[in-house]
Amino acid sequence: MQSVLRGVPFAAAVLLLGATPLRAEAIKVTIDNFTFAPAELTVKVGDTVTWTNHDDIPHTVVSAGKFRSKALDSDDSFSFTFTASGDYKYFCSLHPHMTGVVKVE
Ligand SMILES: [Cu+2]
């Protein structure tokens, strides 16, 4: 009886988490005053990064060949889940001097 009860929480946890990697985290980058903050961050494979535009003008989040958001209006967000390691340099296609990098390990 004891061992059956102890098995229940583990089974429930597996069901709740489903196919989501155990370590996946939601990481946020804000866009404010023509700046990505933080401009550089390190995440794990499986993590999702969400960019949110807090400026009054549109911005985009573009990493050549990797991901490309639509123009984000004020308070719009864009999310990308990183499934492979590497350095993902990105920029705003409307203001190319706005740059950032996500390092996935
Ligand atoms: Cu921009």
As given in the structure block, the two tokens for residue 16 are: 């709740």
pLDDT in tens, 44-81: 999 999 999 999 999 999 999 999 999 999 999 999 99
What is the DSSP pairing of strand 62-63 with strand 77-81? Answer: unpaired
Q: What are phi and psi of 69, to 5 degrees?
A: -85, 165
Question: 1 C-alpha to center of ligand 1: Å?
Answer: 61
Q: What is the pTM of this model?
A: 0.78
> Which secondary structure element, helix H or strand E, spans residue 92, and what is its range?
strand 86-92
Alpha carbon of 7 to ligand 1 centroid (Å): 51
Q: How far is the CA of 60 from the centre of ligand 1 (A)?
A: 6
CA of 34 to the centre of ligand 1 (A): 6
Assigned token pair, 77:
């967000």
CB-based contact 73:105 (threshold 8 Å): no
Looking at residue 13, its pLDDT comes to 47
Q: Which domains does the chain have, with CATH numbers?
A: 22-104 (2.60.40.420)
